[in-house]
Structure 1
């Protein structure tokens, strides 16, 4: 049964969505505390997120952006905001669909079904040119070679591949690997990172992990490497 997280602050709309989804055979989970929404969503490991834009505190745009740093989970924006600029902004941040309220029930279910089908196979892999990572086994494929990474190194590589050329902060790695940003020994991350760097070097990848002092790590093409 596919699990859908609903991020909607209006009680009536939230209850209606739960009714519609569960009638169609989906398992639903509602966010009712709008602090640390992205973290709560990721803890639930949903198959899809139904996300409103106008929320108390953090906006749906910010939540969408935060989810995309760590996860490829399908995101369907469902909002009363019908401006084209809002739709383009949401899609630019990584949302997969954008529907305006009120929305026809059959249209909503069709979009959800299409998204789940589209991501059924794709969400098991993340890749950039020349590198592919199986997220179920953490097998990495490079230059017609393959190697099985440890779970921690696999999670590190997943984040780096999802954000090529971007700086991924230590806090994001801590959250992904250990589920918290507090009371983590940075040496544990460094040990895993050092071993992963050696693995990448042994595979003659066209990319390398560089350390950005005081900020985090980044996966860059070797010709794009800059002094850090």
Structure 2
């Protein structure tokens, strides 16, 4: 039975979450005193940590950074913050996933299951034009620099990488995002592709994504 440790300062939320996890076959523990949080979390030796960003005494992102310096235990950030900046910062500090409140309990359980399965197996690392693609960390690296992608950017990039050299339509990309419970409109898709292009260019992959008018995109 996997042990999940909850870091949430709202009593009702953490107790409801603990009940959800226990009813789903997990062992659940949580903090009630947030002093010396890192030591308490590490001593519990959980298989996965669910952590809010807004917690007493220490910002959740900073706590994540400190935990990550000592352990590779998977961490999912569960937060009411919805800005892309918070997601990018959390992923750069080592979060394995990021889900916003209010969340669908079924979706949260699926995310937990996916992260646990991923952590139990080997890290998937593939290459693209000399870059290492690390799905577990959600990043691209050229060996000296590491570039974090948002979840949407990684879904888009992975979808196009799996179909490299073939035209990918906007409808296909929207469906891929929806299948991962990432709901975006047409304008948001354009913004995500633009940011992905820019990030790939920063790592030396200029013109990596070609636009085919009225058809879609090709990853070169």
Q: TM-score, normalised by structure 1?
A: 0.53
**TM-fit CA distance, 1:121:** 3.2
State yes or no: 1:15 paired with 2:19.
Answer: no
Matches within 5 A, 1:92-171: 92-122=92-122
Question: In structure 1, what is the Cα distance between the partners aligned to 2:56 and 2:73?
Answer: 23
In structure 1, the residue matched to 2:61 is 61
Matches within 5 A, 1:50-89: 50-89=50-89
**TM-fit CA distance, 1:36:** 1.2
Following TM superposition, the consecutive aligned residue runs of length 4 or more in structure 1 with deviations greater than 3 angstroms are none
- Please state whether the residue corresponding to 2:98 is helix, strand or coil: strand
**TM-fit CA distance, 1:56:** 1.1
**TM-fit CA distance, 1:39:** 1.2
- Note the alpha carbon deviations across 1:127-164, whole angstroms, 9 max, x for none: xxxxxxxxxxxxxxxxxxxxxxxxxxxxxxxxxxxxxx
- Please state whether the residue corresponding to 1:40 is helix, strand or coil: helix
Matches within 5 A, 1:206-217: none
**Which runs of 5 or more residues in structure 1 are unaligned?**
124-228
- Please state whether the residue corresponding to 1:99 is helix, strand or coil: strand
Question: In structure 2, what is the Cα distance between the partners aligned to 1:15 and 1:44?
Answer: 18
- Please state whether the residue corresponding to 1:70 is helix, strand or coil: coil
Question: In structure 1, what is the Cα distance between the partners aligned to 2:18 and 2:56?
Answer: 20
**TM-fit CA distance, 1:89:** 0.4
**Which runs of 5 or more residues in structure 2 are unaligned?**
124-220
Question: In structure 2, what is the Cα distance between the partners aligned to 1:36 and 1:60?
Answer: 13
- Note the alpha carbon deviations across 1:96-148, whole angstroms, 9 max, x for none: 1000000000100000000000011349xxxxxxxxxxxxxxxxxxxxxxxxx
Question: In structure 2, what is the Cα distance between the partners aligned to 1:62 and 1:36?
Answer: 13
- Note the alpha carbon deviations across 1:60-91, whole angstroms, 9 max, x for none: 01110011101000000000011110010000
Number of residue pairs matched by the alignment: 124
Question: In structure 1, what is the Cα distance between the partners aligned to 2:25 and 2:114?
Answer: 15
Question: In structure 2, what is the Cα distance between the partners aligned to 1:107 and 1:31?
Answer: 23
In structure 2, the residue matched to 1:90 is 90
Q: TM-score, normalised by structure 2?
A: 0.55
Question: In structure 1, what is the Cα distance between the partners aligned to 2:35 and 2:59?
Answer: 11
- Please state whether the residue corresponding to 2:21 is helix, strand or coil: helix
